[in-house]
Chain A
Amino acid sequence: MRHQRLVETPVDQINVEERAARFTKRSIKTTSKVEGLLLAVSMCDLTTLEGKDTEGKVRQMCQKARNPLGADLAASHPGVTVAAVCVYPNLVEVAKRSLKGSQVKVAAVATGFPSGQYPLEVRLDDVRQTVELGADEIDMVINRGALLEGDIKTVFDEIVQVKEACGEAHLKVILETGEIGSYDTVRRASFVAMEAGADFIKTSTGKVQPAATMPVALVMLEAIRDFYYATGKRIGMKPAGGIRTSKEALHYLVMLSETLGDDWMTPDLFRFGASALVNDLQMQLAKQATGRYQSGDYFSLD
């Protein structure tokens, strides 16, 4: 590892959790709230990752991705879309077709998602084929087994090869923080991923509990900050799994803004991996516009 000294900087559990909780004390009102909600919509990777996913489901979700605000809100905030949809490789082509002409990207999970417990060749093939099918972004999982065995080199080398297999496609590296234990390991894994060529680091697959938490995301943001200080490279961040409400999304944005600053406040460098979040954002935006809450039935499910 080139930045061994940075990697070995410990993380203090109590203090990092205390700091993460501080961001949730920020009171985001009126103009700041609307601005934050709209930014959050534009940062969403609208996701469906289920065995029961079908063309029909993905087509409908892509429609939502193009027009996440619904007609009324879209009139006052034109051109707002989510950042990407996130699907399994088999559904990349459908998503690609459904999103033709829009700015919404197609992200796909690969490398034997979610466990990654397949031979490396299979995982690399998974990536190559998915890119060939048209995915703009690849969400890979790291080799947690190797990481927990202390075999950092294998984790690193595999990511390098996946990056190579990605070609032009953007690479998001999922650490699956719910499986790798301490914050120290999260920090180490973040550095391994960044040094190996990740464009984004991502907390979770969404298939393991706990998924994204504020403290875990903070540890990753601080790793990104140290990597930036050392190299000048801006790495993106994607918390995924468990972020359902606007309030949580705003807390994450506060944390992002106060940790990495203005340059990271863009879908190019920050994403929410979520399925239900968009609807709550929509509901809160409607509340800001009309002063009233409406029931969930007033917002299309997908």
Chain B
Amino acid sequence: MSKTKTTKTGSAQVPHENGRTRPALRFDRAAAYAPAPEASDIVTIKARQGHFIDGEFVESAEGNSFETINPATEEVLGEVAKGSAEDVDRAVKAARKAYEKVWSKLPAAERGKYLFRISRILQERAREFAVLESLDGGKPIRESRDVDVPLAAAHFFYYAGWADKLDFAFGGRTTAPIGVAGQIIPWNFPLLMAAWKLAPALATGNTCVLKPAETTPLTALLLAEVLQQADLPPGVVNIVTGFGDTGAALASHKGIDKVAFTGSTEVGKRIQRTAKARHLTLELGGKAANIVFADCALDQAVEGIVNGIYFNQGHVCCAGSRLLVEESVHDRLIQKLEDRIQTLIVGDPLDKNTDIGAINSKSQLATIQRYLQAGVEDGCEIHQSRRTLPKKGFWCAPTYFTGVAQSSRIAQEEIFGPVLAVMTFRTPEEAIEKANNTMYGLSAGIWTDKGSKIFKMLSQMRAGVVWANTFNKFDPASPFGGYKESGYGREGGAHGLAAYLEVK
């Protein structure tokens, strides 16, 4: 947990507009439910797992491996192969062969059938995937069960439908697959990001080499089992596990035609410099502004704020990490937010009541703690949930800072944790200026009961996704991607097809 000394531990009393203190609610007993853990015995994790290359699980060429742990307990879950340049090369060759010999020759409707089958098996094995995702990544089972896995299946299902309709996707223009795609995915939504990458690539006739993040390789490997179960031809999808160097070897490999990367802006820039592929899409960081007007449905906006920043421990590139609130409603909103975070249950990711799980890794926790410190040093006031955190594992209490200036580091840089920076504005113009005043531009939120105001704001905001009176809503049919340093290219929807096609 944070070592910052200014952690607010007193009552939830907040100064009234006229200087008095407001009555506070007590949540000492609230949301203290008896444990309701999801059984984990549905999943068997092999002690040691290899790469998935050419339809088979194989050891790495040098025989190296690394451990993956449960961030909620720090227990080792198993070992996976540590990918080298040689492993990557093997995988790329397998993908090339599969592309030339099998996948590009298959009738489009047949490709679609494979994807439908993968989607169906994912749904059938949903519980297994949800449990494994929570074990390996630390996210609450409620989210892996209700969001990650169903959305992953929905992506395969959605793109399965496109496979034989590509001629209609770009207004009568013909299309052709690009070839072999190298895909590097992050640790925040391991299975879902694999689905985001694989589904459109396969539907459009490409073959893939996928590199999952080092802290969360397990669901991608379970997905490999599903691909086997679906009888996907060997080599169409290859999965190489490993660290940054494995990803770098893949991104800069001469034999691939396309690099798709989701992750930090820093790594994204490096890939941009070293990639030799003809096509590149990047989905990078974000620092989304969640703009709350005084005329909004305030209690519902609080839910949206909470969902925006605390969903998946804030490990979300499109998280609503900057709260811009109209000054006249600031105090009321903060009082509600303060009370709301006391009811968020932080703990065992497998407990069905958990709202906030474990921070994904030790190093990410350290990063978050550095930012908490930075916020305090910048003179911002820190507020945290008063719930006690588990002793073992990596944890961060839901946090928000008030009195934040646009110039603070916590208002400018992506923290990727459950940390919200609250700032105020006076007019819609000021809100737009502040919202756009960032190097990122992935997402944003607007909260107002006035429809006309929403449209006016929308037309001026530079963000790939703008949610109105909601936040963090995803659908396979909706494109997703960024402006500025949040990357380029779109994933999802018909737009997402373009990232894997030559449009003629």
* Interface set of A (CB-CB < 8 Å, partner B): 9-12, 14-16, 18-19, 25-33, 222, 225, 228-232, 257-258, 260-263, 265
Contact = CB atoms under 8 A, between A and B. Distances in A.
Interface stretch (B85-93, B213-221, B292-300): B292-300
A19 B26 contact: no
8 contacts: A9-B299, A16-B300, A19-B303, A28-B36, A29-B35, A228-B23, A232-B23, A263-B26
B380 to A, nearest CB: 24
B28 A10 contact: no
A33 B34 contact: yes
A218 B22 CA distance: 22
B351 to A, nearest CB: 8
B353 interface: yes
Given A12-B297, A261-B27, 14 more contacts: A11-B297, A14-B469, A15-B303, A15-B469, A19-B303, A29-B33, A225-B25, A228-B23, A257-B31, A258-B31, A258-B343, A261-B25, A262-B27, A263-B25
Contacts of B25: 225, 228, 260-261, 263
A263 B11 CA distance: 14
A27 B297 contact: no
Q: Is the interface of A mostly helix, strand, loop or mixed?
A: helix
Most B Cβ at <10 Å: residue of A10, A18, A25: A10
Interface in B267-319: 295-300, 303-304
A229 B36 contact: no
B175 interface: no
B33 A28 contact: yes
B335 interface: yes
B449 interface: yes
Given A229-B23, A229-B335, A261-B25, A26 B353 contact: yes
Given A25-B142, A29-B36, A262-B30, A12 B23 contact: no
A26 B33 contact: yes
A162 B288 CA distance: 51
A228 B32 CA distance: 23
A30 B32 CA distance: 13
B39 to A, nearest CB: 13
A30 B297 CA distance: 37
A32 B30 contact: no
B34 A261 contact: no
B19 to A, nearest CB: 15
B22 A229 contact: yes
A291 B341 CA distance: 36
B446 to A, nearest CB: 13
Contacts of A14: 469-470
A30 B34 contact: yes
Nearest to B469: A12
B33 A12 contact: no
B28 A262 contact: yes
**For the complex of A and B, 4 pairs with smallest distance between CB atoms:** A15-B300, A27-B36, A12-B297, A261-B25
B352 interface: yes
B495 to A, nearest CB: 25
A288 B130 CA distance: 29
Contacts of A30: 34
B225 interface: no
A14 B468 CA distance: 12
Nearest to B335: A229
B29 interface: yes
A235 B332 CA distance: 19
B470 A10 contact: no
Contacts of A15: 297, 300, 303-304, 469-470
Given A19-B300, A229-B23, A263-B26, A32 B295 contact: no
A10 B449 contact: yes
Contacts of A260: 25
Nearest to A31: B34
A222 B33 contact: no
A29 B35 CA distance: 7
B164 interface: no
Contacts of A231: 23
B413 interface: no
A258 B30 contact: yes
Most B Cβ at <10 Å: residue of A19, A29, A261, A263: A261
B352 A262 contact: no
B389 to A, nearest CB: 19
Contact of B29 (A9, A26, A228, A265): A265
A26 to B, nearest CB: 6
A32 B142 contact: no
B296 A32 contact: no
A18 B33 CA distance: 21
Contacts of A26: 33, 352-353
B339 interface: yes
Nearest to B300: A15
Contacts of B32: 32
Interface string B424-461: 00000000000000000000000001000000000000
A273 to B, nearest CB: 23
A230 B25 CA distance: 12
A265 to B, nearest CB: 7
Contacts of B23: 228-229, 231-232
Contacts of B142: 25
B33 A27 contact: yes
B144 to A, nearest CB: 14
A273 B108 CA distance: 60
Contacts of A25: 142, 146, 352
A19 B296 CA distance: 16
Interface in B12-52: 22-23, 25-36
B34 A29 contact: yes
A228 B33 CA distance: 26
Contacts of A230: 22
Contacts of A12: 296-297, 300, 449, 469
Most A Cβ at <10 Å: residue of B25, B28, B295: B25
B134 to A, nearest CB: 15
A14 B303 CA distance: 12
Nearest to A257: B30
Nearest to A234: B23
Contacts of B303: 15, 18-19
A75 B30 CA distance: 28
A31 to B, nearest CB: 5
Contacts of B295: 10
Contacts of B339: 261
B302 to A, nearest CB: 9
Contacts of A225: 25
Given A12-B297, A14-B470, A19-B303, A262 B26 contact: yes
A18 B339 CA distance: 19
A98 B373 CA distance: 65
B296 to A, nearest CB: 7
Contacts of B332: 229
Contacts of A10: 295-297, 449
A220 to B, nearest CB: 12
A13 to B, nearest CB: 9
B26 A261 contact: yes
A15 B467 CA distance: 13
Contacts of B22: 229-230
Contacts of A32: 32-34
